């Protein structure tokens, strides 16, 4: 990653030793935008069609109070598939459950597993092609991920923390600096899938953008240049 995209990414990291640069506006924008003088067409609140998607959309919340209880191995497998499971192969592209600019899929999924039935605690990488978890660091890393995420205890209490990283060159090779926008969009699509899947399974999920970038990258074994963490999400029972 080079140029403006690298400057932006490196200039917006959280660090214990370097304060975040940048400025703030004098006034926060209003939460809703309206055109008071415009003609309005009133829409009624729709009745939800039968199906779990509509209930999940209606009930989805960021759930931070997670219990120190395990989730099942099958639940974890479903959540991973919801994030980036391969759904179809077309013209050499392996399309997934979440969209990606140019079908390039720059986002990788790592897991800090705290309590999942039948899987030892540790840090894993999800190998999508083989549908397998690759153990990177064995042992309980819950306290490390909690402190790296600004001491948010849902990372320690939850059953697992999903850590989404970006392999920047997958996208910048085609889109140059514009790719950084697409990468963040991709991460958002994936995490929303995780939210909805958790809601459907009766589990809690909370996306996390506040973390010390270098500490999370070190924990996952990333170099922070060619690949870096861009989004976390704690998952568990609530």
Tens of pLDDT, residue by residue over 136-166, are 999 999 999 999 999 999 999 999 999 999 9
pLDDT at 92: 83
pLDDT at 49: 82
Spell out a b/e string for 90-121, using b for 16 or more CB atoms within 10 Å of the CB, else e: eeeeebbbbebbeebbbbbbbbbbbbbeebeb
pLDDT at 46: 81
- Please say if the pLDDT value at position 2 is more than 80: no
Indicate the number of domains in the chain. 1
Q: Which two tokens stand for residue 235?
A: 């998952």
pLDDT at 24: 82
pLDDT at 5: 87
Its domain, for residue 139, covers 66-236
For residue 24, list its beta bridge partners. none
Region 22-35: mean pLDDT is 87
For the chain, what is the radius of gyration of the CA atoms? 19
Tens of pLDDT, residue by residue over 76-127, are 999 999 999 999 999 888 999 999 999 999 999 999 999 999 999 999 999 9
Whether residue 45 lies inside any domain: the answer is: no
Whether residue 224 lies inside any domain: the answer is: yes
Is residue 108 within a helix (H) or strand (E), and if so which, with residue range? Answer: strand 107-113
Whether residue 226 lies inside any domain: the answer is: yes
The CATH number that applies at residue 194 is 3.40.109.10
Whether residue 35 lies inside any domain: the answer is: no
Whether residue 50 lies inside any domain: the answer is: no
């Amino acid at each position: 990653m080079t140029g403006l995209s690298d400057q932006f990414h490196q200039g917006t990291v959280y660090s214990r030793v370097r304060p975040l640069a940048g400025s703030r506006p004098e006034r926060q924008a209003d939460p809703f935008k309206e055109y008071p003088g415009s003609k309005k067409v009133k829409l009624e609140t729709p009745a939800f069609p039968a199906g779990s998607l509509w209930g999940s959309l209606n009930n989805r919340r960021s759930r931070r109070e997670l219990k120190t209880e395990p989730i099942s191995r099958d639940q974890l497998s479903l959540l991973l598939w919801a994030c980036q499971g391969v759904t179809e192969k077309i013209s050499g592209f392996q399309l997934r459950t979440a969209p990606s600019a140019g079908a390039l899929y720059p986002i990788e999924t790592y897991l800090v597993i705290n309590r999942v039935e039948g899987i030892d605690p540790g840090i894993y990488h999800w190998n999508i092609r083989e549908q397998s978890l690759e153990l990177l660091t064995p042992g309980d890393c819950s306290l490390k991920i909690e402190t790296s995420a600004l001491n948010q205890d849902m990372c320690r209490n939850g059953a697992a923390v999903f850590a989404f990283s970006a392999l920047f060159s997958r996208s910048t090779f085609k889109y140059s600096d514009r790719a950084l926008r697409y990468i963040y969009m991709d991460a958002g699509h994936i995490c929303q899938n995780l939210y909805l899947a958790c809601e459907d399974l009766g589990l809690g999920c909370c996306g996390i953008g506040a973390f010390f970038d270098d500490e999370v990258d070190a924990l996952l074994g990333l170099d922070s240049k060619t690949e870096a963490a861009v989004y976390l999400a704690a998952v568990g029972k609530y």
